[in-house]
Amino acid sequence: MTAPENAPVPAAGLPSEAQVLEALKVVKDPEIPVNVVDLGLIYGVDIQESGLVDITMTLTSVGCPVQDLIRSDAELAVGRLDGVSEVNVEFVWTPPWGPDKMTEDGKRQMRMFGFNV
Q: The CATH number of the domain where 43 resides is what?
A: 3.30.300.130
| Domain total of the chain | 1
Q: What is the SS3 assignment for 75?
A: helix
**DSSP 3-state of 71:** helix
- Bridge partner list, 57: 42, 91
SS3 29: coil
Q: Express each pLDDT in 68-115 by its tens digit.
A: 999 999 999 999 999 999 999 999 999 999 999 999 999 999 999 888
Domain membership flag for residue 74: yes
Give the pLDDT of residue 10.
54
Q: Is residue 8 part of a domain?
A: no
33 vs 28: CA distance, rounded Å: 7
2 in any annotated domain = no
The 3-class secondary structure across 9-24, one letter per residue, is CCCCCCCCHHHHHHHH
Within a domain: residue 11?
A: no
pLDDT of amino acid 7? 52
Asked if 35 and 53 touch (Cβ cutoff 8 Å), the reply is: no
Determine the structural domain holding residue 67 and report its residue range: 17-99
Residue 90 lies in a domain: yes
Q: Decide: 55 and 45 in contact? Cβ < 8 Å.
A: yes
In a domain, 106, yes or no: no
Q: What is the pLDDT of residues 3-43, one digit of tens each?
A: 455 555 456 799 999 999 999 999 998 888 899 999 999 99
